[in-house]
Amino acid sequence: MRLLTCVTSALLVTACAPAQDPPGRLAHGDAQAAAGIGLLAPGAPGAAEASSAAVIAAANSGREGDRDATLPGQGAKIASIAMRTWIYVAPDDRSTKLGYLRAGAVVDRAELSAGTTGCAGGWYRIAPRGYVCVGKGASLALDHQVVAAAGRGPLRGEPAPYHYVISKSPAPHLYFRLPSRQDQERTEGSSLGVHLARMGGPRDLPLDPVPEFLSAGRDLPKPYGAEEKLHYSVHTGRAKESSAYGLATAFEWTGRLFGLTTELDLIPLDRTKPARSSQLRGLVVTPAQWAVVESPPQVSVDVKFEPELKGAAAIVKSYGAALMRPDDRGEFESAGLAGHRSGWLLTGRTHGGRRGLLETAEGSWIGEGSLVISPRRDDPQGYSKSGRKWIDVSIKRQMVVAYEGDRTAFATLVSTGRGGMGDPKTTHATMRGVFRIHTKHVSTTMDGDDEATEAFDLRDVPYTQYFHEGYALHGAYWHDEFGKERSHGCVNLAPADAAWLFDWTEPSVPLEWHGAINIDGGTLVWVHG
C-alpha cells in the first residue's frame, strides 16, 4: 500500500506523490487598474521582455545615485506571472530563497534595477524584503494577460481564503474561454438542458460580474510553470474525480453559474457542490484570562489545587456538558451548558479532586469527564523556559496547543493520521518527533491515490505549514471530524484555527506573498503520543 501524507514543499523529498501548486492572484486590490507599461500587446511573444528592457533603460537613466529609487515604496510595481515567482535574499539566484509570489500578484518594487547577475531582465527589490527577477516569472508590464485573467487573490486571515467547491460525478469540464450554450451542449451532451432543469436555481454564492478579460472573448492563459493540457474546442477535458477547488470568482453566464479556479480554468458550478467547512474555533487565550489563572478570585467552596492544571487548555468533548457556579452559600448551581468543542482555560483549582469539577478562567466549573485536557508541559528543547513560541501536538488527545514560553496561547482539536501511533513508514500515522516549520503556503495542492481505493485532488488547501518532509499542519475544508484520527499523516485543523495558527507561527508570510521559507528558523513543533 502506498503511503500518502501531503503534497511536499518544492524544496524537499516527500512521502507522497508530488503535485503542482495552482496559480492565482495574491495581492489585495485591483491590479488591473494599475497603469500598463507594455510596448507590445499583452501576451504577445516578447511583450514582457521588451517592456522590461524598456523600463530598465528609462528608469535607470540619470538616477544611478538616487538611493530612494533603489527601495520599494516609491510607486513602482512588479507583477508575478508564474506559478511561483521566487523571492531571493540578494539579487542573485544562487542566494537564499525567502518565499514566493503567486501568479497575478502585484507588489511594490524599487524603481531602479539592482543588477542583472543571472537575470537578463534585471533584479528588483520588493516590499517588504527580497529581490525578484524580471523574466519568465515576473514582469514590469502590469497589464500582462496573466494579471488581467487571475482576478482577486486569497482573503488572508479569513477561515477560507477562497470559496470552495467539490466536484460531483461526473466531474466538471475545464473550459478555457466563455463557452456558448452550443459549446456547452457539444461538450457536455445534448441532455444538458435536462441536467440544468433538475439542478434548479442559483446557489448561495456571492456572484461578480463576468470578468472583463473573459467577456472580451479571450482564452485563459496558463502562467509559467503551470501544466499545459491538451486543448479541445473550448475545454481541456474533465477535472479529476474527487477534486476540490478554490474559486477566484464566480459569475452567471448563459443562465448558468461558472467559477474561475485559481488555476485559471472555468468550471460549471452545477457540476460541483459547495464545501461545508467546519465552524470549529479553538481557544485563543486573552491577557485577562491569564491574569485570572495567575490570581484567581477567592470562592466560598472547598477547593484543591492541581499544579499541572494551572493554565491548562481543555476542550469540551461531549454534548450537554453542564456549566456550574457556586452561589453565596458555596453550593453549586447550574449556569447553562458548555458548547460542544468549546475551549476553556483552567485555573488549576478543583472541587472534588482531579476527577471532580474544574474551575475555568471565566469562573465557571465543568466536570472533568466532559473535557479533553492538555496539561501544561515543557518542550524537549527548552523553548518553554526561554519564552519562545512552540507547538504541542498530541496524537492521543487529538489536540494542538500553542505556547508562548510556558503560557498557553491557543488550543484546539485536530485530526492527525489515521494510523494512530503506528509506523509512519507503513501506515497513515503522523510522524513523531521535534521539528521546525520550514515552509508555509497560504494555499497549496494535495493529491494522490491509495491503490485505487481512495483518491483525492484537493486544490488550494489553506494555511499549510510543513514541518517535516511531506507532513504539515493545514486547514481542512472537506471534513468536520476534528478530535478523531482521519488524515493521511498531516495534522488537519478547522479552517479558522488553521488561519489563526498560520499568522502566529514563523516564518511570517507578508500579505503580498503566497509562501515563505526558513529551513532552520521556524516555530518548533513537538509531535508525540
- Cα(463)–Cα(105) distance, integer angstroms: 18
- Would the CA dihedral through 405, 410, 411, 412 be positive or negative? negative
- By the 8 A CB rule, do 461 and 446 touch? yes
Nearest to 343 by CA among 322, 370, 314, 371: 314
Alpha-helical (H) ranges within 423-471 are none
- Cα(510)–Cα(522) distance, integer angstroms: 15
Residue finishing a domain among 118, 150, 182: 150
Find the range with the poorest average confidence among 49-63, 128-142, 292-306.
49-63
Domain coverage including residue 424: 388-528
Residue-level pLDDT at 328: 85
Residue-level pLDDT at 421: 96
Q: Which cell is 335 given?
A: 449556569
Q: Which cell is 324 given?
A: 456550574
Q: Are residues 429 and 522 in the same domain?
A: yes
- By the 8 A CB rule, do 388 and 373 touch? no
Q: Are residues 102 and 175 in the same domain?
A: no
Q: Are residues 346 and 462 in the same domain?
A: no
pLDDT tens for each residue of 492-515: 999 999 999 999 999 999 999 999
- 125 lies in some domain: yes
Number of C-beta neighbours around residue 328 at 10 A? 6
Give me the mean pLDDT over the 225-243 stretch.
91
SS3 readout for 273-305: EECCCCCCCCEECCHHHHHHHHCCCCCCCCCEE
> Running DSSP on this structure, what letter comes out for residue 388?
-
- 9 lies in some domain: no
Q: Are residues 308 and 182 in the same domain?
A: no
- Cα(315)–Cα(282) distance, integer angstroms: 8
pTM, rounded to two decimals = 0.87
Q: Are residues 135 and 49 in the same domain?
A: yes
Q: Are residues 92 and 115 in the same domain?
A: yes
Residue finishing a domain among 115, 150, 185: 150
- Cα(509)–Cα(519) distance, integer angstroms: 14
- 205 lies in some domain: yes
Q: Are residues 396 and 479 in the same domain?
A: yes
CATH number of the domain within which 521 lies = 2.40.440.10
Q: Are residues 410 and 479 in the same domain?
A: yes
Q: How far is CA 175 from CA 21, 235, 253, 444, in A?
A: 19, 4, 13, 22
Q: Are residues 369 and 400 in the same domain?
A: no
- 379 lies in some domain: no
Residue finishing a domain among 226, 244, 274: 274
Q: Are residues 188 and 126 in the same domain?
A: no
Q: Quick one: pLDDT band at residue 354, thresholds 50, 70, 90? A: confident
Active site residue 6: no
- Cα(394)–Cα(303) distance, integer angstroms: 29
Count of domains forming the chain: 4
- 18 lies in some domain: no
Give me the mean pLDDT over the 436-452 stretch.
77
What's the number of CA atoms in the CB half-sphere (13 Å) around residue 492? 27
pLDDT tens for each residue of 155-196: 998 999 999 999 999 999 999 999 999 999 999 999 999 999
The answer to whether residue 119 scores a pLDDT higher than 60 is: yes
- 309 lies in some domain: yes
- 443 lies in some domain: yes
- Cα(404)–Cα(386) distance, integer angstroms: 9
> Coil, strand, or helix at residue 501?
helix
Q: How far is CA 361 from CA 98, 332, 347, 494, in A?
A: 40, 17, 6, 24
In sequence order, what are the beta bridge partners of 272? 167
**Placement of cell 511536499 in the chain:** 8
- Cα(463)–Cα(444) distance, integer angstroms: 8
**Exposed e or buried b for every residue in 365-379, given b needs 16+ CB within 10 A?**
bbbbebbbbbbbbeb
CATH number of the domain within which 360 lies = 2.30.30
Q: How does the average pLDDT of the chain come out, rounded?
A: 87
> Coil, strand, or helix at residue 65?
coil
> Coil, strand, or helix at residue 210?
coil
Residue-level pLDDT at 202: 58
Residue-level pLDDT at 455: 60
Q: Provide the CA 417 distance to its chain's centre, in angstroms.
A: 19
Q: Quick one: pLDDT band at residue 227, thresholds 50, 70, 90? A: confident
pLDDT tens for each residue of 469-486: 999 999 999 999 999 999
pLDDT tens for each residue of 4-48: 445 333 333 333 333 444 443 433 333 333 322 222 333 344 444
User: Could you say which of 474, 479, 488, 514 is catalytic?
Assistant: 474
Residue-level pLDDT at 58: 53
Q: Are residues 420 and 459 in the same domain?
A: yes
Residue-level pLDDT at 453: 37
Residue-level pLDDT at 263: 87
Active site residue 490: yes
- Cα(286)–Cα(300) distance, integer angstroms: 26
- 40 lies in some domain: yes
- Cα(362)–Cα(297) distance, integer angstroms: 11
- Cα(529)–Cα(527) distance, integer angstroms: 7
Looking at the chain, the whole-number percentage of residues with pLDDT higher than 90 is 75
Residue-level pLDDT at 367: 97
Residue-level pLDDT at 7: 39
pLDDT tens for each residue of 321-343: 999 999 988 899 999 999 999 99
- Cα(315)–Cα(344) distance, integer angstroms: 6
User: Could you say which of 16, 468, 490, 514 is catalytic?
Assistant: 490
Nearest to 238 by CA among 166, 185, 188: 188
Q: Are residues 189 and 315 in the same domain?
A: no
